[in-house]
Chains A and B, each alone.
Chain A
């Protein structure tokens, strides 16, 4: 075959020769010490950081620690099941993990099973790439009623994240409302509305597929505090919604009239995104779209200038039955516009409310600086402020935004900082470090059994085999105990 399939793309990356880093090309001398580096978190940030370090340093050994038994973080647990193409990055991560200078240790919770200080003792450099595991809360009355969930929990549920496997969301309401207008909001809306015959060919979990099969949700509103020019989702995800089989958009023309003039001078991405909304809202649909929309049994829409005030309970006070929202107006313009309440209030009946207003990183322990206001580890180009030898990459470094290429670039940047510090002699590699050898005994004494990458490959093979029986790419195992049993832990 002449085409470049996944394995070739990935292996090509492995064979690449170091370039552009003359300082690291020097021939090996017998006295050269091996830098021991560890990475906390095996999502895209962790693996892209590892990839860059291994590629540009001929001796460095990189150990990747992961809280869960299984690797890849949000690529496995965040990327929507109907976006398998995004998950192709796993092929590259797998090649990295299979390097003889890279080791994966799953089932190890840093901060609990082993502390950051202990890792700093064992390694010359520690890179924190543990992401943003928490979500921002609404802080309004009724937030804890049944029928109200974080979009993040719903995503975790349909993607088989162990901590969300028992979510059992109540999908008996005809109308669902998502607070937030980012890509996660569009993801959950799309999964709730996608025809079952399409969903069942994805790696969505068995349990969530069954629940969605009996879902009563027919309409999903996506609500934003600001206007159409401030939406956070990107055009690819919007286009998918516009073209979603069996669903029609319900957009209020009043929200979009006159917008064309406002986008004349904005950057191309925002301009094209807004144009697609305007076209969908105001123009006569093409023949194909008109046909889909006419026969659609489900619908989705965008609501602007609404800020949630209170989730309204049912008469028995147990469940959500609707939401009260403040009508807002914009002060200022463009990306920095702010929403100000007008005093007007709107109520909307909906029994399923999903908050999708952003993720949040959590601090890892007293020895790691944390900026609670921005929800990140304070750093300069990935170097953690005031702690030599400690680095960060990905969402915990810059906040929970951006697509995979953003994380890739930022992880390469952090790896570059580590390489520069190694070259400048700022990381004392003449002081030999044991790396995992010393961590092993700590973990052993605490009864923690790490999962290796070949263990993961067994779990992976079992999932793929189970999926094959169901006509899916894989059937994810959602119980960590079952994963561990599978590998005789």
Chain B
């Protein structure tokens, strides 16, 4: 059983690599990591601290979590390696098959990120949910997030369930963003997920 489990784990890892490798998927990570990834733990430890990048995560409840990662690590790697407590983060394990590692970046960092691929954008579309606009507020796009903690980003919402456009434009998937030096001390935000618009209908009205 242990062998089968290990095999599965290795298969999952190999699969992830496979998916990260093709052009358009996880550009950057694969290139930077290459051989470095194959070093054992001791080799990694010998690498200088210059290769470390500190990242702050603002969790859904507003808690700040701080972790360190190596240049070339993806933000999903950082969350997993540091056991950061972010509910449901990285469900598909970095294979671009879900959007649970959705993060919002600071403007100055976001601008410097590698261009987004169609495949990542496809998944981010699902993170927002295929939800509605309103006739009265064509700008008020409902993307299913409960609160917005940055006062400088005006909420364009009806009720509480929206994400501001500024944040919307700074969204990426953590599994596709690999650490680079300029990211040191950056802060990324975990959007608060909320029930799909359809399910927030109060069912008690039905009887």
Contact = CB atoms under 8 A, between A and B. Distances in A.
Interface residues of B, number: 75
B39 to A, nearest CB: 8
A412 B123 contact: no
A401 B195 CA distance: 13
A21 to B, nearest CB: 9
A291 to B, nearest CB: 17
B109 interface: no
B141 A267 contact: yes
A84 interface: yes
B49 interface: no
Nearest to B85: A16
Contact of A270 (B94, B97, B130, B196): B130
Nearest to B79: A12
Nearest to A381: B195
Interface in A292-349: 335
Nearest to B81: A4
Nearest to A463: B4
Most buried by B among A89, A385, A465: A89
Contacts of A404: 91-92, 98
B73 A401 contact: no
A168 interface: no
A409 interface: yes
B100 A20 contact: no
A3 interface: yes
Given A19-B85, A464-B8, A89 B128 contact: no
A17 interface: yes
B60 interface: yes
B116 to A, nearest CB: 12
A4 B132 contact: no
Nearest to B6: A7
Nearest to A8: B80
A203 to B, nearest CB: 12
B195 A88 contact: no
A52 interface: yes
Interface stretch (A109-117, A231-239, A248-256, A478-486): A231-239
Contact of A403 (B83, B98, B195): B98
Contacts of A269: 125-126, 128-130
A376 B119 CA distance: 33
Interface residues of A, number: 70
B126 A236 contact: yes
A461 interface: yes
Given A380-B204, A404-B91, A409-B193, A15 B83 contact: yes
B98 A48 contact: no
Contacts of A2: 33, 36-37, 39, 44, 70, 73, 77, 81
A413 to B, nearest CB: 6
Interface string A457-486: 110110011000000010000000000000
B176 interface: no
Contact of B202 (A19, A89, A380, A397): A380
Given A88-B93, A267-B132, A267-B141, A236 B88 contact: no
Which 7 A-B residue pairs are closest in the complex by CB-CB distance? A85-B95, A6-B12, A5-B13, A20-B61, A269-B125, A398-B199, A4-B80
Given A16-B87, A267-B141, 11 more contacts: A2-B77, A3-B77, A84-B15, A85-B15, A85-B95, A91-B93, A92-B91, A236-B122, A385-B204, A404-B91, A409-B88
29 contacts: A1-B38, A2-B33, A2-B70, A3-B16, A3-B77, A5-B16, A6-B9, A12-B79, A16-B85, A19-B63, A48-B88, A85-B96, A89-B92, A234-B126, A267-B130, A267-B131, A268-B125, A269-B126, A272-B125, A369-B207, A374-B206, A385-B203, A385-B207, A397-B199, A401-B198, A405-B98, A405-B100, A410-B196, A473-B11
Interface of A: 1-9, 12, 15-17, 19-20, 48, 52, 55, 83-86, 88-89, 91-92, 234-236, 239, 265-270, 272-273, 335, 369, 371, 373-374, 376, 378-381, 385, 397-399, 401-406, 408-410, 412-413, 457-458, 460-461, 464-465, 473
Interface of B: 1, 4-5, 7-13, 15-17, 19, 33, 36-39, 44, 59-61, 63, 70, 73, 76-77, 79-81, 83, 85, 87-88, 90-100, 118-119, 121-123, 125-133, 138, 141, 143, 168, 193-196, 198-199, 202-204, 206-207
